C-alpha cells in the first residue's frame, strides 16, 4: 500500500491543486469549452482510473469538473493521487 | 422554453427522486455494482443529455452517482428534467 503524505507535499509537486477543505485530500477544478469536452476528459480518465484501480471523486456540471483525490485505504494523499493528478493535468492541457 | 413547475409535482411523476435541499431542483443517488458500471451509466446518459442539450449536475465516487436536475434557463424544474430523470431510472434499472 502507498504511504500517506502531507497534502502540502503532494501539492508542491503539482500545478493548480489545493488542499481539500476538511479532508486529507487534494482538489482542482477543471474548466473546458463545453460539456462534450468535459465529459470526454472524464471518460478518458475513467479508463485510466479503472486500470490503476484508483478512482477520483468528481462533480460535473456542464463544462466544469471538480476533482478530489485521496487514497481511502491509506486515509490520505499518496503517490497514487499524484500520479492520477498528473494524468489529469496532462490531458486537460491537451483539451484546452 | 419549458415551463417551471413545483419540484413536488415533478417528484410525483418519478420514483425515488427528492427535492434538492436549498434549490429548485430534484435529486437522486444511484448505486451500482462497481465504478465501471457507474461510469457506464454516466457515459450513456451523457450522450442523451448532449443530444437533448440538457445536462445533469452529478457527483461520482466509485459506484455511486448523485444526480441533481434543474433547468437553469427556467430557474427551476421543467419537463426536460422529468424526461432526463426517466431516462436515468430506465437505464439504472437495466444495469442493476
* Interface probe with A: pick from B43, B48, B61, most Cβ of A within 10 Å: B61
pLDDT at A31: 98
Facing residue for B35 by CB, picked from A39, A43, A55? A55
- What pLDDT, on the 0 to 100 scale, is given for residue A22? 75
Q: Is the residue at A85 inside a domain?
A: yes
Domain housing A29: 23-93
The backbone region for B53, taken as left when phi is positive above 0, alpha when psi lies in -120 to 50, beta otherwise, is left
Are A61 and B42 an interchain contact pair (Cβ–Cβ within 8 Å)? Answer: no
> Would you call A58 and B62 a contact, using CB atoms and an 8 Å cutoff?
no
Chain B hits for A49, CB-CB cut-off 8 Å, are 35
Residue in B36, B50, B60 closest to A58 by CB: B60
pLDDT higher than threshold 80 for residue B22:
no
Inter-chain CB proximity B57 and A55 less than 8 Å: no
Measured between beta carbons, the chain B residues lying within 8 angstroms of A56 are 61
pLDDT class for A24, splitting at 50, 70, 90? very high
Residue B3 lies in a domain: no
Q: Is the pLDDT of residue B1 over 70?
A: no
Which has more confidence, A33 or A2?
A: A33
The pLDDT tens digits for A42-86 are: 999 999 999 999 999 999 999 999 999 999 999 999 999 999 999
Domain tally for chain A?
1
CATH number at residue A70: 3.30.1360.20
Q: Do B49 and A35 touch (CB under 8 A)?
A: yes
Closest chain B residue to A51 measured between Cα atoms?
B36
Q: How many helices and strands (H and E) does chain B possess?
A: 3, 4
**Is A57 contained in some domain?**
yes
Quote the ipTM score: 0.93
b/e sequence A53-78, b meaning 16+ C-beta within 10 Å: ebbbbbbbbbbebbbbbbbeebebbb
In a domain, B71, yes or no: yes
Question: Chain B partners of A39 at a C-beta cutoff of 8 Å?
Answer: 42-43, 46, 50
The percentage of residues in chain B with a pLDDT greater than 70, rounded to a whole number, is: 99
pLDDT of residue A82: 97
Residue pointed to by grid coordinates 460535473:
A60
B7 in a domain, yes or no?
no
- Domain presence at residue A33: yes
Residue A14 lies in a domain: no
Question: For residue A1, what pLDDT is reported?
Answer: 64
A3 within a domain of the structure (yes/no): no
Model-wide pTM > 0.90: yes
Amino acid at each position: 500500500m502507498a504511504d500517506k503524505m502531507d497534502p502540502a507535499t503532494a501539492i508542491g509537486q503539482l500545478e493548480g491543486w489545493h488542499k481539500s477543505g476538511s479532508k486529507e485530500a487534494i482538489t482542482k477544478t477543471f474548466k473546458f469549452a463545453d460539456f462534450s469536452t468535459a465529459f470526454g476528459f472524464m471518460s478518458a480518465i475513467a479508463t485510466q482510473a479503472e486500470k490503476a484501480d484508483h478512482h477520483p471523486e468528481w462533480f460535473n456540471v456542464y463544462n466544469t469538473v471538480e476533482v478530489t483525490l485521496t487514497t481511502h485505504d491509506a486515509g490520505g494523499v499518496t503517490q497514487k493521487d499524484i500520479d492520477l493528478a498528473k494524468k489529469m493535468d496532462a490531458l486537460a492541457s491537451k483539451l484546452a
